[in-house]
């Protein structure tokens, strides 16, 4: 999955960016309080993308 497509889905769920990192960005869902790092690669593995969305939703 492309990173920009994953970020669109993450932001649609209501998550916000906490901080930029060297290799990962940290996003948090204010409703649930869960945090999840998102890699800063152009292409993200489908399994990892599904896990990130599941944790933040």
Each residue's pLDDT tens digit, 7-36: 999 999 999 999 999 999 999 999 999 999
Position 13 scores a pLDDT of 94
CB-based contacts of 41, cutoff 8 Å, min separation 6 = 3
Position 55 scores a pLDDT of 94
Structural domains of the chain, ranges and CATH numbers in brackets: 3-56 (3.30.920.30)
Q: Tell me the backbone φ, ψ of residue 45, rounded to 5 degrees.
A: -55, 140
Position 57 scores a pLDDT of 87
Measured between its terminal Cα atoms, the distance across the chain in Å is 18
Position 48 scores a pLDDT of 96
């Amino acid at each position: 999955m492309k990173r920009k497509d994953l970020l669109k889905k993450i932001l649609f769920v209501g998550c916000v960016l906490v901080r930029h990192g060297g290799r990962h960005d940290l996003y948090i869902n204010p409703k649930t309080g869960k945090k999840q790092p998102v890699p800063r690669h152009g292409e993200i593995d489908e399994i990892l993308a599904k896990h990130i969305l599941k944790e933040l939703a």
